[in-house]
Amino acid sequence: MSSLPGIPRIALTWLLVAQVLVIVPHLVHLPLWMIALWLGAAGWRVQIFRMRARYPNGWAKGGLVLLVLAGILLSRGTLVGLDAASVLLIATFTLKLLEMRTRRDALVLIFLGFFCVVTAYLFEDGILAALYSLLPVTALLTALVGLQHSGFAERPWPPLRLAGGLVLQAIPLMLLLFVFFPRMGPLWSLPMPSDKGVTGLSDSMEPADIAELSRSSALAFRASFEGEVPARGQLYWRALTLERFDGRRWSQSSYADVPVAPQWSKAGESLDYSIIMQPSGKRWLYVLDVGEMAQDSGRMMNDFRWQRLRPVDRPLLYQVRSWPEAAREASAEPPGLRQALQLPEQGDPRSHAWAAELKAKYPQSDALVAAVLQHFNREPYVYTLRPQPLGRDSIDEFLFDTRRGFCAHYAGAMTFVLRAAGIPARVVAGYQGGELNPNGNYIQVRQFDAHAWVEYWQPGRGWRSIDPTFQVAPERIEQGLEEALSAEDGFLDDQPFSPLRYRELAWLNQLRMSWENLNYGWQRWVLGYQGEQQLKLLQNWFGSLDWQRLAIALVGTGALVIGLLALWLLKPWQQRPDPQRQAFRKFERLLARHDVRREAGEGARSFALRAARQLPEQAEQIETFARCFEQQRYAGGPASRDALRQALSDLRRALPWRLSR
């Protein structure tokens, strides 16, 4: 074996296969030139193996690195951030091929490959992605096994078989760790790559915003109810309220961030449900009014929305109990109420005039609200996702000229009119409805279910929610966006392959539902299995348990298992005490300090001869000890520990004192 063992053919082959498998799931977010980079690097490496090419020299490698950096800068615009960093990681993973000379380099590459497999989970953590990652892991293990084979081994399958066996053997351990290993919170929060990709609700609303959003069929969250699933028309998932209006744009008021829970009182039946939320990159959670949940899931803010301390950057499971009929801030005037009356200083004169007219006609708030709703119902308003652009007095133009718009238009206009008539009101943004999956009895809410509605406040009755969109397009609320847009071919027409477009095919729909169900289970039971849920399950099994005890138990069990294994392997009870061997070990240690080390296969006599040659001044003592040892151990002389000890201490005295070499 030379000091720089090369990389066997089989290991190289498997390494290349593994690299392809590792890179494939990343392709979705990688720039296309990475494929060319990999092909080039792999081709080069194979030519090196065939001795048709040389390893690149330092200049070539430096140039390649600069080229890759420039490429990332061009295609991503930055070198920092998760997205660019992952491209950089894959690029290094690829380029490392070109300086893979020794087994050690190959090991580095393989471990880097494992890391790349893990980073793929940042982008996709579905069940398919998880199952797929078994492939690159197996291939990497195979390369690892192949690396230990001789360079003459011809057949590529034995390492694969061994690696497959290893993966299978690891499964029970994996399950065990999955169930018991405590999930630690992240040490820091990464800016998710999905920040720009995930279309979520934003914290402001300019009617053009939601038109974009409504067409995305990405999943927002899933909700499963413990009892009956309420009717679609009652599912108003609150995310946040928008109180400030500047004439064009609705946004959150600064007052809404005060973490003072508003006053409310429970009434009627409660609804229990749990929600698995997709990463949104935002802090708010989705609840039905009025929601209640465990303190560590989030806090209720002063506008009844629920919010977490950190943005939701990975799937999140939480349990909610809602009281749909609860009275909200009914007994006293809420402290921030004047926010709900704020209007721009000027603009929209026609709406102001109409509001004043209504106010004169209907002194009662309820009657006025009913009149506005009726107005939306009677007049020729059109629900569409392609409204005309509005000019400076956007409310006026919408109410009296165009009369075409979607929920944001209606909610915004209605809130404006109510405020102008002196009734405190605000826009609520969230999701409405969702699709019931009959297989799993849960509701899936997608981004196109995003919605905006209105709530207004009355003394003695508190906040009440109303939905002006319902007056215009009741089918939007009762059947969903798809029905509401049946006249208009706007629904998902930018996503020709979305299975949601083909709902009329029954079998396809069935298939889709089953698939969604599987994914739901994955989210619910695998990805969602952490924190509270894990603790609950373990408590079910082992009674009262908290994290400290779990950690102690885990460490204890681990130590016990390792200890038992060590006992079983070493069998200390079978080892008889061997004073001669111990003395000889001391002799070895003593000489090792003087740089004379025994080889494993070296006998006592030959070692002593060699040591005597290297330390000629102490040759006599060394030989005395060796002779004494040999006499006792092989010649059947009387076993005397003292004689050995004496010879050893003679030698120690003769040697110059040294603690270590």
Partner 1 sequence: MRTKLDACLDSVNQVLLGKEAQVRLALTCLLARGHLLIEDLPGMGKTTLSHALARVLGLSFQRIQFTSDLLPGDILGTSVFDKDSGQFVFHPGPIFAELVLADEINRATPKSQSALLEAMEEGQVTIEGATRPLPEPFFVIATQNPVSSGGTFALPESQLDRFLMRLSLGYPAQAAERALLLGDARRDLLPRMESILDHAELARLQAQVPKVRASDALIDYVLRLVEATRSQPQFAWGLSPRASLALLAAARAWALLAERDYVIPEDVQAVLPSVVGHRLRERADPTGHGGGSLVQWLLREVPAL
Q: Are 199 and 212 in contact (CB under 8 A)?
A: yes
> Interface with partner 1 includes 1 (CB under 8 A)?
no
Binding to partner 1, residues 628-647 (CB under 8 A) = 630, 633-636
289 is catalytic: no
Pairing of strands 404-405, 284-285: unpaired
| Identity of the amino acid at 11 | A
d(CA 382, CA 422) in angstroms, rounded, equals 27
Annotated active-site residue in 393, 407, 409, 628 = 407
Q: Which stretch binds partner 1 (CB under 8 A): 301-309, 344-352, 368-376, 603-611?
A: 603-611
When binding is defined by CB under 8 A, the residue of 599, 638, 659, 661 that contacts partner 1 is: 599
**# residues near partner 1 by CB under 8 A:** 18
Q: Which stretch binds partner 1 (CB under 8 A): 53-61, 245-253, 267-275, 596-604?
A: 596-604
Provide the minimum distance between the beta carbon of 607 and partner 1 in the complex, in angstroms, as a whole number: 9
Give 500-540 as a 3 state SS string.
HHHCCCHHHHHHHHHHHHHHHHHHHHHHCCCCHHHHHHHHH
Q: Are 480 and 235 in contact (CB under 8 A)?
A: no
- DSSP strands (E only) in 296-449: 299-300, 306-307, 316-322, 327-328, 382-383, 404-405, 425-432, 435-437, 442-446
When binding is defined by CB under 8 A, the residue of 2, 150, 295, 548 that contacts partner 1 is: 150
Here's the x/- map for partner 1, 544-583, by CB under 8 A: it reads as ------------------------------------xx--
Indicate the residue among 380 and 601 with the shorter CB distance to partner 1.
Answer: 601
Indicate the residue among 425 and 643 with the shorter CB distance to partner 1.
Answer: 643
Alpha-helical regions (H) of 344-467: 349-361, 365-378, 394-396, 407-420
Indicate the residue among 363 and 636 with the shorter CB distance to partner 1.
Answer: 636
Structure letter (DSSP) for residue 383: E
467 is catalytic: yes
Indicate the residue among 345 and 599 with the shorter CB distance to partner 1.
Answer: 599
296 is catalytic: no
CB atoms within 10 A of CB 474: 16
Q: Which stretch binds partner 1 (CB under 8 A): 85-93, 176-184, 601-609, 649-657?
A: 601-609
Provide the minimum distance between the beta carbon of 569 and partner 1 in the complex, in angstroms, as a whole number: 15
Provide the minimum distance between the beta carbon of 442 and partner 1 in the complex, in angstroms, as a whole number: 54
Indicate the residue among 18 and 590 with the shorter CB distance to partner 1.
Answer: 590
> Interface with partner 1 includes 145 (CB under 8 A)?
no
Indicate the residue among 343 and 622 with the shorter CB distance to partner 1.
Answer: 622
Instruction: Check whether the bond before 290 is cis (ω within 30° of 0).
Output: yes
Q: Which stretch binds partner 1 (CB under 8 A): 120-128, 361-369, 410-418, 597-605?
A: 597-605
Indicate the residue among 266 and 581 with the shorter CB distance to partner 1.
Answer: 581
Nearest to 413 by CA among 346, 350, 337: 350
Tokens of 592: 């090792």
Annotated active-site residue in 116, 313, 467, 628 = 467
d(CA 547, CA 555) in angstroms, rounded, equals 12
Burial of 162 (C-beta count, 10 Å sphere; 0-12/13-18/19+): middle
3-state secondary structure of 467: coil
Residues that bind partner 1 (CB under 8 A): 150, 152, 580-581, 584, 599-606, 630, 633-636
List residues with catalytic annotation.
Answer: 407, 451, 467
